[in-house]
Structure 1
């Protein structure tokens, strides 16, 4: 007899955590990579000959700017044919732009798959978007790491060469995209007993409810004991009532050492 296909059920209707993680890190990484791409600060060159000591060059992959510590004036569009003819510059321009475009495509692909407004996300479509985001992170890390490796080997007018902030932003943005895309890909295959998807087997859920005994019902029995103060709404006691009585009362008589439960009036 052929075995039936195993059925799974989601334990929560909220958006899976792996999708939230990926859909947050990917846009953050894209913004950082965009800043690293357009900003002209992949490296800075200080102590430039025939220039004031506080003057330095900011070199990026699209532009070169001349700045100074003592002035806020920044002169961009500096011409340096030798610098822009380096192979790493041409490769970095292509890969960084391609990475930005691929990240947008990955986000557009993953968004319908995540489907926060439905009970069952499309794991395959969302995972495909995660793969594209992961590849965009790889395309960012390659030129950043290459440029950092040959930072001082690229022709420059001075030996005082320092790393620019675009390298740091590029590394962080690339790592964000790598992590976000990788985590989203995890949902394509069910593993760890369905915990990566937040799912459980229907058979296990049915057995759990079948073996769970309902709790005993507790019945509250009202108490019939009433005190003197609660039995009467009049704010006086027995002693005060006897003291304020204006007519004589008979003395109580004990019979056999016991006092009767009431007094006899005259």
Structure 2
């Protein structure tokens, strides 16, 4: 069987996009920021955990947030603490919307890839074009959903979870937040999903088959045995004219 190039492209790009979006979803580097924390004064609790640093007046704190986990690390130190997202950041409706869209995207993309694999059907003569194209449509929808989620998060990146009791507490050091690596994985994976799903959508278009030399009104496809010149050929020749 000659598998159309669009199907091959879709069946390669779609799982790759799913892996990248899943990687972005489970990693806590959607946004990151850093701030200096003074070590002087009785309230400096972090200095108890920093040893061998000599006389240190301030520490550089690295903060990163994901969809389900946040982390805090002291630069040039083994001190790192991660915890499930909580507080104003967790309750922010834009964060919740992003979480829901990403989960829906992963589910739809997984179902679409399964349908695409069934539709390609490498073990038979002709692919199930309708099934493969339906899987491609689901993958495209999944890619659009993840792009929407990433767009919402990126647009509001600096203000997510900000409140008088959140990250912006005046008693805590001010963080300068910026996009982090997980966002880039998500953007790349979402684009691959849309690209792979669009390639699978071309499966809806059935290629034009050559006509039978003896009977021009009959198609000369391996699935149609009405053409005498095709029906009388051995199976190896039949596969060669597969459309």
Q: TM-score, normalised by structure 1?
A: 0.65
Residue from 19, 34, 40 that aligns with 2:7: 19
Name structure 1 gaps, 5 residues minimum: 1-12, 208-266
Q: What's 2:182 paired with?
A: 166
1:202 maps to which of 182, 195, 211? 211
Note if 1:137 corresponds to 2:137. no
Deviates more, 1:47-56 or 1:26-35: 47-56
Q: After superposition, give the CA deviation of every residue in 1:29-48 in whole Å (9 maximum; x if it has no partner).
A: 11111111111111002115
Q: Distance in 2 between matches of 1:205 and 1:85?
A: 72
Alignment of 1:17-96 (within 5 A): 17-47=5-35, 49=37, 52-77=58-83, 80-96=86-102
Relative to structure 1, the CA distance from residue 72 to residue 20 in structure 2 (aligned partners, 3 Å threshold; closer, same or farther) is: farther
Partners of 2:26 and 2:68 within 8 A in 1:
yes
Query: The residue matched to 1:57 in structure 2 has which SS?
Result: strand
Name the structure, 1 or 2, with higher relative contact order (CA <8 Å, separation 6+): 2
Distance 1:107 1:205, change over 3 A: farther
Aligned partners of 1:66 and 1:78 also within 8 Å: no
Q: How does 1:157-236 map to 2 (within 5 A)?
A: 157=168, 158-190=174-206, 194=207, 199-203=208-212
Give the aligned length.
188
Tell me the CA shift for residue 200 of structure 1.
3.1
For the pair shown, the structure with the greater C-alpha radius of gyration is 1
Q: Distance in 2 between matches of 1:205 and 1:28?
A: 46
Are the aligned partners of 1:48 and 1:56 in contact in 2 as well (CA < 8 Å)?
no
Look up the SS of the partner of 1:153 in the other structure: coil
1:143: Cα distance to partner?
A: 1.0
From the superposition, tell whether residues 55 and 167 of structure 1 become closer, same or farther in structure 2 (CA, over 3 Å).
same
Structure 2 counterparts to residues 112-131 of structure 1, below 5 A = 112-131=118-137
Q: 1:127–1:184: 8 Å Cα contact kept in structure 2?
A: yes
SS at match of 2:64: strand
CA distance in 1, matches of 2:36, 2:213: 72
Going from structure 1 to structure 2, the CA distance change for 1:204 and 1:122 (only over 3 Å counts) comes to farther
The Cα RMSD (Å) is 2.2
Query: Which residue of 2 is the match for residue 108 of structure 1?
Result: 114
